[in-house]
Amino acid sequence: MGNNKDKGDWGEELALAFLKEKGYTILEANWRFMKLEIDIIAKIDGILVFVEVKTRLNESHGDPEDGVTLKKQRFIIKAANYYITEKDLNLESRFDIISVLRENNKVIIKHLPDAFYPIAK
């Protein structure tokens, strides 16, 4: 994996396959609004799921999910609001994180449903 984009793309492909295997319907991948991006938008059991994927090639900087800062959460929430408005949706929604960690030639995928909640500014 040559750079961060390659690493991120690899992690997102694994996350997409993971979600499909778990029965999620993938609605969007890398959905963008202006400079905001949501890695994966999926649906399961009538719930709209906004997924942030974090990938690391080792644990030297901590768990991948630790990279989803409060600032990043705010960006994802803002983008999700635009998506819901643009698509005129009225569904329950949640924010998940999928962490992908490659350590010692082993890949560990961790799914954290309801990882964070919309917050007031």
The CATH number assigned to the domain holding 96 equals 3.40.1350.10
In a domain, 23, yes or no: yes
pTM (two decimals): 0.92
To the nearest whole percent, how much of the chain has pLDDT over 90?
A: 75
Q: Is residue 73 part of a domain?
A: yes
- What are the C-alpha distances in Å from 99 to residues 62, 78, 91? 11, 21, 25
- For 96, other C-beta atoms within 10 Å of its C-beta total 20
**Is 121 within a domain?**
no
The domain in which residue 92 lies consists of 4-116
Are the beta carbons of 94 and 1 closer than 8 angstroms?
no
For residue 12, tell me if it sits in a domain.
yes
Phi/psi for 98 (5° steps) reads -115, 120
35-91 pLDDT, tens digit per residue, is 999 999 999 999 999 999 999 887 777 788 988 999 999 999 999 999 999 999 999
Q: Tell me whether residue 87 is in a domain.
A: yes
Total number of domains constituting the chain: 1
Mean pLDDT of the chain: 91
